[in-house]
């Protein structure tokens, strides 16, 4: 029986550095990297003189747990191979599934190929769930050809034809990624080689694809084909997808007609997702009062709105500037026991900030913290923009200084928002201080903002500040526009400070080189 060993060094280096080497004496696969492994630590006297313990036997369960707990993919593979080297041990579906999931999460795709190759020599029974998981990982990494390869690997390794679920999963991933040619290739090969008879799920994926591309005529043609089929018939997902497609194209009357047809002719009851397609559609079409009536109809017919329904309606009121009604929806959501999420809070905070109601927005931010709803980077960027629009720069700067120490992740946009406002309002001293903080934390301002700050400092006669700013920016790889250089050299020359001017010219030469 073949021993499963994918002996490897899937190191923390990039996947592209890996090379696969086959051992001519056995079925082991070695994945080596260009850089050598470090020497093992020197044994101590105690270790040498003491009695060596017999290695503990790794069971399937303990191997799985050890692989799951190991963060380093190389170490995870070593554990996998150590288990396989044990006398009487053979890997099974569960251990293979665990190591493949670990490698996929670490994007070690060449190592995955080696493990899959080894699986072809195994005699244990494999299940296609391993391959469904791998297809999702490859799709997330935009390796769409590999998604299809993994699908085609199911039959030779599992020794069974892929199920309709496997076909549906693969097709859906390709359609979601807009890989139309690959999706068509999959369908053609499945009809020819697997005797595929599309079920409702597969038809629904095709309908979603056509709706996504705005081809509603083709979507309805698929529905007619479903009705003629003996093994499939339009269901709630079918109609919800079609309604969403119609609403996206502004065909609101047709969407309502289809809704009534679904309920009255086919006795299919709508769910919150179906209603959300209509609520979103009417809100996008500027008919938020009609969207509210749809939600009232929803409640009367025994379908309780979910957080997405409330958020969609609240967003509709916000877009029309009807903040009081948006707040009513927000607090109604609270009153029925639905906990607003970060997106819901941020939506309301954003429109409050844009309506110059920053104090109310700050109260909501405080409420988020009290209710355990974590504000994200987008939330804080919205708040920072709101503070700056009202000229409250000290508060904004204080937040930028403080938040990272409170565990809040800020991105370059967080700093750029405030810096842009400071430059625009001529707050040059504060802008210079913020720039120093940005560069210290590894964030480079926007090219145009950097040049604008230099020009404004020169215009204000702040030569020393301009030189400091320039050297800080150049060290981070920034190349100023020629006009900024000439203004600064001219300013320094006017002040008869020729040595700094010569240093600047030297820096210019070095930068250009």
pLDDT digits (tens, 9 = 90+) for 267-296: 999 999 999 999 999 999 999 999 999 999
Residue bearing the bigger pLDDT, 424 or 359: 359
Residue bearing the bigger pLDDT, 481 or 157: 157
> What does the block give as tokens for 298?
């929803």
Give the pLDDT confidence score for residue 61 in this predicted structure.
Answer: 92
Q: Tell me: pLDDT of 43 over 50.
A: no
Give the pLDDT confidence score for residue 443 in this predicted structure.
Answer: 84
Number of Cβ within a 10 Å radius of residue 330: 22
Give the burial class of 343: count Cβ atoms within 10 A of its Cβ; 0-12 exposed, 13-18 middle, 19 or more buried: middle
CA-to-CA separations, 451 to 387, 423, 473, 505, in angstroms, rounded: 24, 10, 10, 17
Give the pLDDT confidence score for residue 136 in this predicted structure.
Answer: 94
Give the pLDDT confidence score for residue 1 in this predicted structure.
Answer: 43
Is this model's pTM higher than 0.75 or not? no
pLDDT tens per residue, range 307-350: 999 999 999 999 998 999 999 999 899 888 888 889 889 999 99
Is 105 among the domain residues?
yes
Give the burial class of 169: count Cβ atoms within 10 A of its Cβ; 0-12 exposed, 13-18 middle, 19 or more buried: buried
Q: What is the mean pLDDT of the chain?
A: 82
Cα separation, 350 vs 357, in Å, equals: 10
Is 181 among the domain residues?
no
Is 204 among the domain residues?
no
Give the pLDDT confidence score for residue 462 in this predicted structure.
Answer: 73
Sign of the CA dihedral with 311 first, then 312, 315, and 320 last? negative
Q: Which of 119-123, 152-156, 174-178, 399-403 has the lowest mean pLDDT?
A: 174-178
Residue bearing the bigger pLDDT, 45 or 165: 165
Give the pLDDT confidence score for residue 182 in this predicted structure.
Answer: 86
pLDDT band at 228 (very low <50, low <70, confident <90, very high): confident
Residue bearing the bigger pLDDT, 462 or 39: 462
Cα separation, 463 vs 478, in Å, equals: 19
Q: Tell me: pLDDT of 17 over 60.
A: no
Domain that holds residue 10: 1-36+57-124
Give the pLDDT confidence score for residue 460 in this predicted structure.
Answer: 75
Is 508 among the domain residues?
no
Q: Which of 216-230, 390-404, 413-427, 471-485 has the lowest mean pLDDT?
A: 471-485
Is 88 among the domain residues?
yes
- Number of separate domains in the chain: 1
CA-to-CA separations, 151 to 162, 221, 309, 457, 479, in angstroms, rounded: 8, 28, 36, 61, 49
Q: Which long-range contacts (CB under 8 A, 24 or more apart) does 17-22 make?
A: 18/108, 18/110, 18/111, 20/110, 20/113, 20/114
- 307-319 and 288-300 are packed helices; what angle lies between their axes, rounded to 10 degrees? 160
Q: Tell me: pLDDT of 420 over 50.
A: yes
Is 96 among the domain residues?
yes
Give the pLDDT confidence score for residue 22 in this predicted structure.
Answer: 39
Q: Which of 183-192, 234-243, 491-500 has the lowest mean pLDDT?
A: 491-500
**DSSP letters for 434-503:** HHHHHHHTT-PPPHHHHHHHHHHHHHTT-HHHHHHHHHHHHHTT----HHHHHHHHHHHHHTT-HHHHHH
Q: Which of 62-66, 317-321, 360-364, 487-491 has the lowest mean pLDDT?
A: 487-491
Q: Tell me: pLDDT of 207 over 70.
A: yes
Cα separation, 371 vs 77, in Å, equals: 42
* % of residues, the chain, pLDDT over 70: 81
Q: Which of 83-92, 130-139, 216-225, 436-445 has the lowest mean pLDDT?
A: 436-445
Give the pLDDT confidence score for residue 500 in this predicted structure.
Answer: 55
Is 360 among the domain residues?
no
Cα separation, 102 vs 249, in Å, equals: 42
Q: Which of 128-132, 233-237, 505-509 has the lowest mean pLDDT?
A: 505-509
Cα separation, 240 vs 278, in Å, equals: 9
Give the pLDDT confidence score for residue 352 in this predicted structure.
Answer: 93
Residue 94: closest CA among 54, 55, 61: 61
Residue bearing the bigger pLDDT, 486 or 313: 313
| Interval 203-221 mean pLDDT | 89
Name every residue whose Cβ is closer than 8 Å to that of residue 313 and which is 6 or more positions away in sequence. 279, 283, 288, 291, 292, 295, 329
Is 506 among the domain residues?
no
Give the pLDDT confidence score for residue 291 in this predicted structure.
Answer: 96
């Amino acid at each position: 029986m073949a021993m499963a060993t994918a002996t490897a060094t899937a190191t923390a280096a990039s996947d592209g550095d890996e090379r696969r080497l086959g051992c001519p004496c056995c079925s082991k696969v070695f994945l080596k990297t260009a850089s050598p492994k470090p020497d093992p630590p020197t044994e101590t006297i105690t270790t040498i003189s003491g009695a060596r313990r017999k290695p503990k036997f790794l069971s399937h369960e303990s191997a799985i747990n050890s692989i799951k707990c190991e963060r380093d993919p190389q170490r995870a593979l070593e554990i996998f191979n150590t288990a396989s080297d044990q006398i009487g041990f053979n890997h099974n579906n569960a251990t293979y599934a665990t190591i493949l999931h670990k490698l996929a999460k670490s994007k070690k795709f060449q190592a995955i190929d080696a493990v899959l190759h080894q699986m072809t020599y195994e005699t244990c029974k494999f299940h296609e769930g391993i391959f469904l998981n791998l297809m999702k990982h490859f799709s997330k990494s935009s390796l769409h050809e590999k998604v299809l390869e993994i699908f085609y690997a199911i039959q030779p390794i599992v020794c069974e034809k892929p199920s309709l679920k496997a076909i549906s999963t693969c097709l859906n991933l390709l359609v979601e990624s807009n890989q139309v040619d690959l999706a068509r290739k999959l369908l053609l090969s499945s009809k020819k080689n697997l005797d595929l008879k599309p079920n409702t799920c597969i038809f629904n994926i095709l309908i979603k694809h056509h709706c996504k591309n705005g081809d509603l005529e083709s979507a309805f043609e698929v529905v007619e084909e479903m009705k003629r089929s003996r093994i499939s018939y339009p269901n709630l997902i079918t109609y919800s997808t079609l309604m969403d497609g119609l609403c996206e194209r502004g065909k609101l009357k047709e969407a309502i007609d289809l809704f009534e047809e679904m309920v009255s002719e086919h006795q299919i009851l709508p769910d919150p997702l179906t209603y959300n397609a209509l609520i979103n559609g009417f809100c996008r079409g500027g008919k938020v009062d009609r969207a509210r009536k749809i939600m009232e109809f929803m409640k009367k017919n025994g379908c309780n709105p979910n957080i997405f329904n409330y958020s969609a309606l609240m967003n509709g009121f916000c877009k029309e500037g009807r903040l009081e009604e948006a707040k009513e929806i927000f607090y109604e959501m609270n009153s029925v026991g639905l906990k607003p999420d970060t997106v819901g809070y941020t939506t309301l905070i954003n429109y409050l900030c844009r309506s110059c109601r920053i104090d109310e927005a700050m109260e909501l931010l405080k409420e988020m913290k009290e209710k355990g709803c974590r504000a994200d980077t987008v939330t804080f960027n919205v708040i920072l923009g709101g503070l700056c629009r009202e000229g409250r720069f000290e508060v904004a700067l204080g937040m930028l200084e403080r938040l990272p120490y409170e565990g809040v992740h800020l991105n370059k946009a967080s700093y750029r928002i405030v810096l842009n406002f400071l430059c625009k309002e001529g707050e040059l001293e504060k802008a210079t201080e913020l720039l120093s903080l940005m560069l210290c934390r590894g964030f480079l301002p926007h090219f145009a903002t950097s040049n604008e700050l230099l020009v404004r400092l020169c215009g204000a006669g702040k030569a020393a500040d301009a030189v400091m700013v320039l050297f800080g920016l150049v060290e981070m790889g920034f190349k100023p526009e020629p006009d900024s250089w000439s203004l600064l050299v001219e300013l320094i020359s006017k002040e008869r400070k020729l040595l700094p001017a010569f240093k600047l010219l030297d820096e210019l030469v070095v930068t250009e080189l």
